[in-house]
């Protein structure tokens, strides 16, 4: 009987995170302090992040050791299984071998705890008592709530009001893990009160929630802030995914020709692809690494590489990245984790240097792929994750057309048990594909061009 999955024991987990900066032929340009337009240093970040994470943010060391206490908590769900997609392969009937890492086995159901746990750990190391963050649909907030609970830290989450009201399940998951969740805008911060004074019924936005979280974090020196994607240290922590996959593929006697992952901010993609991109650079391997973005938020394929704020509110340093403009407002697709205006600095530099590829897909094709995946593999994927499946199907069909064999690896970054509303809308025919109005991208990009040094 053919195996379906390859497991590793806890003792076979990677001992270090892999830092791709060490291997990049062109190092990323520095972030800039928007007031001085000078490179932002550790001091710019220390009010909101602990020094342990800031050191990782600016590190050029190739490997950074994973602390024992983090490994112990990783053991709750790591190493994650590597699946051989026998069911999907049979369905597609193409000359491809398809493997996927399944990150839905984590406590919050996605890859996010891979970074939430070390972030909570380094905060705790420096005496932080409470971590404050924002969350949109709730994946990141759930992961941080879990991590803080494990390490005995308080966790306070500002959740965009409209999600708080419309998607209560994620909020209750955060409560269950022990976090306090507030709808944003709230009366707890000046930023929130200002918004509510103008519009008591404000539905909120990620930008407002970030403002509230940062305001609360800087107000007390035992409080810090945390971010679930985009930053270098976040991408670093996710590299356990790709390192495990490499070991598991070796056990299967395989190596990937193509790696596929969705890209929102970039941590999901980085997690599975960076260790293999490193091998491309240092060992001359030729694995194609494809980032999949939604057609409604296509920063990699239609954005511009320039300095922009990492957040909608303009709180962060200016980051060199592919962006649609920090004021770009993507359509309200169900793949909430992919609705981010820019790509992380590291992913952006790699794309600029042609070390990765990018493709933008429409949501109907992605949901169709998700249904095929559920029926053939037994896993109901998060809407974000269906983007990877859709591209896998494209690659398989291409291979069939060309009669060329291919080994594909992708990141099944989360399950969709809390996202069934998305599938409901799909079955009801309530979803459509996306085309931009003529000026939508142009205007938001124009604004950012004016910020360049």
Residues that bind its own copies (CB under 8 A): 1-5, 7, 9-11, 68, 71-72, 75-77, 87, 105, 107, 109, 146, 149-150, 168-169, 172-173, 175-178, 370-371, 374-375, 377-380, 415, 417-418, 420-421, 423-424, 427
Closest distance of CB 213 from its own copies, Å: 22
User: Do residues 216 and 133 lie in contact, with contact meaning Cβ atoms separated by under 8 Å?
Assistant: no
Of 67 and 314, nearer to its own copies (C-beta) is 67
Shortest Å distance, C-beta 338 to its own copies: 20
Least CB distance to its own copies at residue 60 (A): 29
- Residue 226 Cβ vs its own copies, minimum distance, rounded to whole Å: 18
User: Which of 383, 445, 448 lies closest to 412, judged by CA?
Assistant: 383
Cα separation, 168 vs 146, whole angstroms: 17
Distance from C-alpha of 134 to C-alpha of 150, rounded to nearest angstrom? 19
CB of 367 to its own copies, least distance (A): 10
Query: 326, 313, 353, 290: which is closest to 21 by C-alpha?
Result: 353
State which residue, 44 or 419, has the beta carbon closest to its own copies: 419
**Of 117 and 355, which CB lies nearer to its own copies in the complex structure?**
117
CB nearer to its own copies: give 176 or 194: 176
d(CA 343, CA 263): 8
Task: State in angstroms the smallest separation of the CB of 81 from its own copies.
Answer: 9
| 8-state DSSP, 349 | H
Q: What's the rounded Cα separation, in Å, for the pair 256 and 249?
A: 8
Closer to its own copies by CB, 193 or 421: give it.
421
Neighbours of 222 (CB within 10 A): 11
Pick left, alpha or beta for residue 168 (phi over 0 → left; psi -120 to 50 → alpha; otherwise beta).
alpha
Residue 377, CB half-sphere, CA atoms under 13 Å: how many? 28
Provide the token pair at 380: 């109901």
- Alpha-carbon distance 434 to 412, whole Å? 24
Comparing CB distances to its own copies, the nearer of 83 and 276 is 83
Nearer of residues 148 and 319 to its own copies, judged by Cβ? 148
End-to-end C-alpha distance for the chain, whole angstroms: 61
The minimum distance between CB 175 and its own copies, in angstroms, equals 6
Which residue, 164 or 340, is less far from its own copies as judged by CB? Answer: 164
CB count in 10 Å sphere of residue 430: 8
At 182, list the tokens. Answer: 């507030």
**Token pair belonging to 190:** 């000046």
Both structure tokens of 201? 């019924």
Report in angstroms how near the CB of residue 270 gets to its own copies at its nearest: 24
Give min distance, CB of 322 to its own copies, in A.
Answer: 33
Q: Which is nearer to its own copies, 107 or 265 (CB)?
A: 107
Q: Which two tokens stand for residue 27?
A: 């190092």
Q: Are 21 and 28 in contact (CB under 8 A)?
A: yes
């Amino acid at each position: 009987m053919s195996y379906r999955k390859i497991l590793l024991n806890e003792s076979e987990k990677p001992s270090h995170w892999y830092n791709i900066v060490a291997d990049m032929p062109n190092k990323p340009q520095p972030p800039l302090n928007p007031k001085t337009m000078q490179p932002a240093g550790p001091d710019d970040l220390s009010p909101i992040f602990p020094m342990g994470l800031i050191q990782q943010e600016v590190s050029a060391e190739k490997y950074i050791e994973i602390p024992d206490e983090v490994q112990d908590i990783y053991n709750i769900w790591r190493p994650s299984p590597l699946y051989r997609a026998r069911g999907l392969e049979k369905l597609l009937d193409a000359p491809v071998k398809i493997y996927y890492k399944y990150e839905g086995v984590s406590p919050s159901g996605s890859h996010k705890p891979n970074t939430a746990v070390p972030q909570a750990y380094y905060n705790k190391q420096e005496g932080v008592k409470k971590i404050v963050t924002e969350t949109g649909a709730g994946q990141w907030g759930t992961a941080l709530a879990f991590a803080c609970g494990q390490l005995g830290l308080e966790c306070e989450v500002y959740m965009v009001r409209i999600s708080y009201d419309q998607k209560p399940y994620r909020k209750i998951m955060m409560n269950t893990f022990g976090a306090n969740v507030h709808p944003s805008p709230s009366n707890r911060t000046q930023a929130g009160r200002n918004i509510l004074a103008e519009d008591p019924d404000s539905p909120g936005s990620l930008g407002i929630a970030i403002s509230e979280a940062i305001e609360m974090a800087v107000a007390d020196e035992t409080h810090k802030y945390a971010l679930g994607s985009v930053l270098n240290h976040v991408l670093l922590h996710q590299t356990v995914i790709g390192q495990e996959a490499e070991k598991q593929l070796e056990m299967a006697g395989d190596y990937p020709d193509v790696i596929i992952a969705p890209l929102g901010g970039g941590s999901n993609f980085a997690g599975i692809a960076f260790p293999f991109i490193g091998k491309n650079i240092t060992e001359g391997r030729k694995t194609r690494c494809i980032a999949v973005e939604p057609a409604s938020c296509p920063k990699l394929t239609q954005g511009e590489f320039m300095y922009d704020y990492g957040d909608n509110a303009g709180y962060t340093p200016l980051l060199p990245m592919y962006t649609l403009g920090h004021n770009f407002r993507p359509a309200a697709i169900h793949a909430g984790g992919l609705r981010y205006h820019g790509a992380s600095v590291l992913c952006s530099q790699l794309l600029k240097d042609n070390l990765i590829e990018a493709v933008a897909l429409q949501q109907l094709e992605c949901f169709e792929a998700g249904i095929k995946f559920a029926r053939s593999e037994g896993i109901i994927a998060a809407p974000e994750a269906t983007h990877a499946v859709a591209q896998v199907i494209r690659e398989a069909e291409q291979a069939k057309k060309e009669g060329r064999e291919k080994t594909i690896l992708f990141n099944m970054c989360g399950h969709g048990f809390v996202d069934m509303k998305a599938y409901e809308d799909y079955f009801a025919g309530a979803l459509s594909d996306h085309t931009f109005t003529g000026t939508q991208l142009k205007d938001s990009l124009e604004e950012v061009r004016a910020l360049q040094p």
